[in-house]
Every structure is written in C-alpha cells, then in structure tokens.
C-alpha cells in the first residue's frame, strides 16, 4: 500500500509540474494530496484512464484515471494522429455529438478543438442529440470517424467518450487497437494540440435529422394500422437525457397523435434529479413513467437513457397494471412481430449477442431466417453487417441490455427508431384487440417459455478491479462440474476461444474474437454467462432457463417454476 500511495503521489506531482495543466485543476490535485484519507487520490491516479476498445469511461474529476479535459485531450490527439496516418493527403472529417451529462458539451468542444488543430474538419451538433443520430450523421456526411460524449446509463458522476469509424459503427479491430497504440504513445500533455482552429468546426444542420426521420418512415410496417389507432395513449420520458430532442417528434412523424411526456423529466439535466440512476433497466428509473401511464390509461410507456441508445418499455395488462419488459422480452417480442410479418425471407438475417435470449434463435430457426450471434456490444453486430453487406439482407438486431436496431441506416443501437417501432407494435396489437403482454404469452406458447435474469455485482476502485479478475480466474481455472443439481455439460471460454464438453471431454474452437466471457450450459437446459462489464465496475452474471408452455392457462404455473430455478442459480452465483 505504501508503494502504491507513493506511486500515485509522484504521478499527481507530474500534473502539478505540467505547464499544460490549468490552475483550477492543479488546485483540485492539491486538495486531493492534502486529504488525510488517500482513497480518492489513489482511485484518481492509480492508473491512466484506459482508452479501451470502445473509448473512455470514468468518473469526472482531476486525475489520470478520470474524465477531464486532459484525458479527453490525450484520447483525441491519439485519434487525430491515427486518422492522419490512415488517410494521408486526404481531407478528413469527423462528426461529434453529446448527451445531457455534466461537462458533455465541454468535452465535445475540447475534442473538436484538438481535432481541428490537427487539420481535421469537425461537424458538430449545435446541442445535445441522441447517439444513434451521430452514427447516422457519419454515414450521411461521409465522415471518416465520429465521437459521442456520453457515459450511457451510468450514474451522474460518470462521463465517457466513444469513437466511431467510417461506416458509422464503433471502432473494432484493427482500428481500435491502433488508436489505443497512438493514445499510449502520447507521453505528456504538451503533445496535445488544444488550440482550436475555428474555421474547421462546422455546425450540423437540420437536414441530417430530416433524412433520419425519412429512413424511419420507410422502416415502419402496416402504416394503415397506425392510421386506425393513431390516438392510443403513449407515454414517454427521456429521463433528463437527449431523447427529448427526437423521440416525441419521431413518433409524430410516423403518425401517432397522443404522446404524453413525463413533464418532471423532460428537461435535460446531467444531475438526473428524479432518479437514483438514469438507467431504464432499473425499476426505480421507470417509476414516474409508469405512474403517468396509469394516470392516462396508456397502452405502453417508454423511457430512454441519457444518450438514447437504450429504451425500456412497460405494457399494460388487462387489469390496468403495467409490466416492465426486460431487454430479452422486448427484443424477443420485436423479433416475433418482425419474423411473423416478414414476407421476403430470402437471404435475410437477424443478429443478437451471445448473452441474449436463445428464444430468438429458436424463432428464427422455425421461421426460416438466419440468426447470427456476436460478442456483447453492438459494434460487433455492426462489424457483422459490414462483412455481410451485399451478400445477405439485414433485418434487425438486438441485445439483452435494452438495445435494438431495425434497418441498416444506423450502425449502433437506436432507441429513437426502437420507440417508433414499439409504438407501431402496440398499434398492431390493439388492432387485434390484444395487448403486447398478450403477445408475449402467445409467443411463449408458440416457441417455448424462455426466461432470463441478470445479476450485477458492483466492485469499485482498484481493489474491486482485482476482485473481479480473481473471480473470473476462479471460474476459469476451477470450473464447477455441477450447478444446483444439474451437471455442467459444456463450457465455452471466449478468452481462450475453446469449447469443452465436460461429459465427453470433446473440445472445439470458437470462431469469435477474444473476450473475457465464460458460458456454462447445464444438462437441464439452463445457461449461465459470466463477464466483467466493459464500461462499469461490475461483474455480470446472465441466467437463462426455459420450459415448454402448452397453453396460456399454464403460464402462472410454468412462470413460478422458472422463477424458482432462476432464484436457485442466482443464489449459487452470489455464493461463489
């Protein structure tokens, strides 16, 4: 501990000695050094905030392990260096967007300044806009790259920085690794060109949004159904995020006329004052939209995270109560609707991630459409789309963490178009005198009752990082032979890219990029997936169970059985 403390004090001193660091930041560093409790100093300086495969994400503050002007500047200088090396002699342009988080506009302007100082033209939105519009803008404006300043659904203390490439998708190999190399080559803040060239910074006009809405309109099926049910009550909240700038307008553009907003949450605010965390995956973030939904007798409620790439939905049951659909349920319902109504199945495909419900695979197989699985993260889905472009026709994709994408005009998860699509589904269910909850049970009867759960274990700071690594190593070096009375049949290790049948001893190789993920398939059909979060100080456990559902009348009984099985598996995971 003494060595670590000495190391971080030395690192903090380099910030105080740097002529590039402003006086206000130096004052913050001095305050950290003066505190009797050294925990915050250690957390802020024990390492450099890593420019990982998706960019940066961290708590805002002074220090090498925080989001601030200087870590953003270094990341952007590295990206600029790589762009100039990759496109020598060419006019390079890049698009920038940001969400409602504290300092998001400031970080966007820092990035724009550094890029412009390096001879790169920057196209920047005049105010906050959803992340999917950034992906669309890169394609629409023919940019070589893009940046969005957001920490997605993280708590208010966080901010982040995601880098995109030419096709509008987040960077993937080899570009991600090459950018990281360039970032790591910067050894001092004096190497960062902070002085902006204003002549190279341009404001993105309304034509980009207009073109986006036109693409969404092409996507929506059964427009005559929306025309019949345009007045169904839909409630939406942006949870103080960027979604307010586009989601209500998008719903209007496709024909809906009764869109109710949660007024207390419609003003963008990086402090997210009405929720513990602006994450639609958490019930607490959905409380106000459900209350409004009950008050206006809504058909469906929707809530998006701060950068509007994820959406949570709640659907009304016959008794007037709302049920929140998790990401697996919502995506499965979306695919149930799309696949059943897909007239042209020739050479078509959908995509999902390896931790997303296998009900989607089952439906696709039975309905005759290819389903591809990728590693967790839409950048891998986008990479797959790039590889299959011109060979197979993309329909839709999704992941369990509330991310969905229909159509290929955006290459990232898109809550704006997803809200439009879920609204269209609500209208179609209404046209059948059903609710989307009725559809959910119909789907289980047709294809099997699959149920999933996610257990997040948060472990913060330097100590937490070590604990997560130790837990993954424990699972990897000493895998369980049996879990809750069922033998482990198959073990898939995406780090070593190996699959082993623990019953027969047979082994095979996985055709995926390396990733720190383990999956256990049990003989009773259950599946457990374990992975550290790439963006938060968490280890994630994904639990999946399933059973046949012979009739609607059996729903409650089978549901209770699956809940008990999930409860047992969760107890096992938390005891490890």
pLDDT at 1: 59
H/E element, 451: strand 449-458
Instruction: Report the predicted TM-score, pTM, of the whole model to 2 decimal places.
Output: 0.93
Task: Report the candidate in 485, 475, 564 with the shortest Cα–Cα distance to residue 520.
Answer: 475
> For residue 263, what pLDDT band results from cuts at 50, 70 and 90?
very high
Q: Which two tokens stand for residue 343?
A: 């007239």
CA distances from 277 to 89, 233, 281, 417, 454 (A): 46, 26, 10, 23, 17
Predicted local distance difference test score (pLDDT) of residue 341:
84
What does residue 168 show for φ and ψ, rounded to 5 degrees? 90, 5
Active centre residues (catalytic): 152
- Residue 53's pLDDT is 67
| Distance separating alpha carbons of residues 349 and 339, to the nearest angstrom | 10
In the numeric block, the tokens 């969005």 are attached to: 148
Q: What is the pLDDT of residues 411-469, one digit of tens each?
A: 999 999 999 999 999 999 999 999 999 999 999 999 999 999 998 888 887 788 888 89
Q: Decide if 87 contacts 139 (C-beta within 8 A).
A: no
End-to-end CA distance of the chain: 27
SS3 at position 100 = coil
Tell me the pLDDT tens digit for each residue of 213-229: 999 999 998 899 999 99
Question: Model confidence over 98-118: pLDDT tens digits?
Answer: 999 999 999 999 999 999 999
Which residue shows structure tokens 């589904």?
A: 425
Which H helix or E strand runs over 438? Answer: helix 436-447
Burial of 392 (C-beta count, 10 Å sphere; 0-12/13-18/19+): middle
pLDDT tens for each residue of 54-90: 789 999 999 999 999 999 999 999 999 999 999 999 9
Output the pLDDT for position 50: 85
Long-range CB contacts (< 8 A, 24+ apart) of 186-189? 186/74, 186/77, 186/78, 188/18, 188/20, 189/18, 189/20, 189/21, 189/70, 189/73, 189/74
């Amino acid at each position: 501990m003494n060595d670590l403390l000495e190391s971080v004090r030395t690192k903090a001193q380099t910030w105080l000695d740097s002529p590039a660091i402003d006086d206000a930041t130096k004052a913050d560093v001095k305050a950290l050094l003066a505190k009797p409790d050294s925990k915050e100093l250690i957390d802020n300086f024990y390492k450099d905030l890593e420019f990982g495969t998706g960019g940066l994400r961290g708590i805002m503050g002074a220090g090498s392990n925080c989001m601030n002007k200087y870590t953003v500047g270094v990341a952007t200088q590295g990206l600029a260096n790589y762009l100039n090396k990759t496109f020598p002699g060419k006019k390079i342009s890049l698009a920038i967007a940001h969400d409602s988080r504290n300092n998001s506009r400031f970080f966007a302007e820092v990035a724009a300044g550094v890029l412009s100082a390096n001879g790169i033209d920057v196209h920047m939105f005049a105010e906050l806009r959803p992340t999917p519009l950034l992906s669309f803008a890169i394609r629409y404006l023919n940019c070589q790259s893009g940046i969005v300043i957001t920490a997605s659904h993280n708590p208010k203390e966080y901010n982040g920085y995601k880098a995109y490439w030419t096709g509008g998708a987040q960077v993937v190999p080899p570009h991600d690794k090459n950018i990281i190399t360039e970032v790591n080559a910067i050894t001092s803040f004096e190497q960062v060109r902070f002085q902006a060239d204003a002549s190279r910074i341009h404001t993105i006009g309304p034509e980009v949004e207009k073109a986006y809405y036109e693409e969404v309109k092409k996507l929506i099926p059964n427009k005559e159904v929306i025309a019949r049910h345009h007045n169904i009550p839909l409630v939406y909240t942006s949870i103080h995020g960027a979604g307010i700038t586009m989601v209500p307008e998008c719903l209007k553009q496709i024909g809906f006329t009764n869109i109710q907003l949660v007024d207390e949450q419609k003003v963008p605010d990086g402090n997210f004052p009405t929720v513990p965390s602006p994450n639609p995956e958490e019930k607490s973030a959905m409380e106000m939209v459900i209350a409004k939904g009950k008050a206006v007798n809504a058909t469906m409620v929707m809530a998006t995270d701060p950068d509007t790439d994820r959406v949570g939905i709640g659907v009304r049951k016959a008794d007037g109560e709302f049920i929140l659909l998790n990401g697996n349920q919502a995506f499965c319902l979306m695919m149930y609707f799309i696949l059943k109504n897909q007239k042209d199945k020739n050479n078509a495909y959908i995509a999902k991630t390896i931790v997303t419900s296998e009900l989607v695979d089952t439906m696709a197989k039975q309905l005759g459409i290819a389903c591809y699985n990728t590693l967790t993260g839409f950048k891998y889905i986008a990479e797959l789309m790039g590889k299959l472009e011109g060979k197979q026709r993309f329909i839709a994709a999704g992941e369990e963490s509330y991310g969905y994408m229909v159509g290929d005009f955006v290459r990232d998860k898109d809550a704006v178009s997803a809200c439009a699509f879920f609204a269209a589904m609500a209208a179609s269910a209404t046209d059948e005198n059903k609710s989307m909850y009725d559809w959910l049970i119909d789907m289980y009867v047709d294809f099997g009752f699959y149920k999933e759960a996610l257990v997040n274990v948060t472990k913060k700071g330097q100590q937490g990082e070590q604990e997560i690594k130790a837990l993954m190593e424990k699972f990897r070096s000493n895998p369980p032979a049996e879990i809750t009375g069922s033998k482990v049949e198959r073990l898939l290790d995406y780090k070593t890219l190996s699959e082993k049948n623990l019953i027969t001893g047979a082994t095979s190789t996985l055709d995926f990029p390396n990733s720190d993920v383990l999956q256990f398939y049990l003989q009773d059909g259950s599946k457990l997936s374990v992975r550290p979060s790439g963006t938060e100080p968490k280890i994630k456990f994904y639990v999946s169970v399933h059973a046949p559902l012979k009739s609607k009348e059996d729903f409650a009984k089978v549901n209770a059985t699956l809940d008990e099985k999930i409860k047992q598996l969760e107890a096992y995971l938390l005891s490890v």
